Amino acid sequence: MKKVNNYVFNVEEFSNRITKQIQQIQEIILNSNRIEFSRQELEEILNDGESDGTLITRQAPWRIFSYYKNEMIRRGSLEVRSTEMEDENSEELEEVVNI
């Protein structure tokens, strides 16, 4: 089994009394009309947000998000939920072991 994180945003806790880059991340989330994302989905919309000029940064968007993640969790605007998923190769491995 492998752990996978889902990122769940609480838009009711979004605020303007935060750093400019967190405001930009919040804008990207609001424009997506979603609140829950896998890591891959969140990375994609953050990258799109950088491409369209919503997120202004010289660094990788995921790095910016990672930097501010704990601040967003502390403020109640983000929750990270870990779930266990079957590893794609686990059934194949089980078959080989049980032969």
Sequential pLDDT tens for the chain (99 residues): 788 999 999 999 999 899 999 999 999 999 999 999 999 999 999 999 999 999 999 999 999 999 999 999 999 999 999 988 776 655 554 554 444
16 in helix, strand or coil?
coil
Contact 73, 79 (CB under 8 A): yes
d(C-alpha 49, C-alpha 59), whole Å = 13
Domain regions of the chain by residue span:
2-97
Please tell me the predicted confidence (pLDDT) of residue 89: 58
pTM greater than 0.85: no
Selection from 60, 64, 59 nearest residue 20 by Cα: 64
Please tell me the predicted confidence (pLDDT) of residue 74: 96
What are the structure tokens assigned to 68, written together? Answer: 């501010």
Domain covering 2-97: architecture? Orthogonal Bundle (1.10)
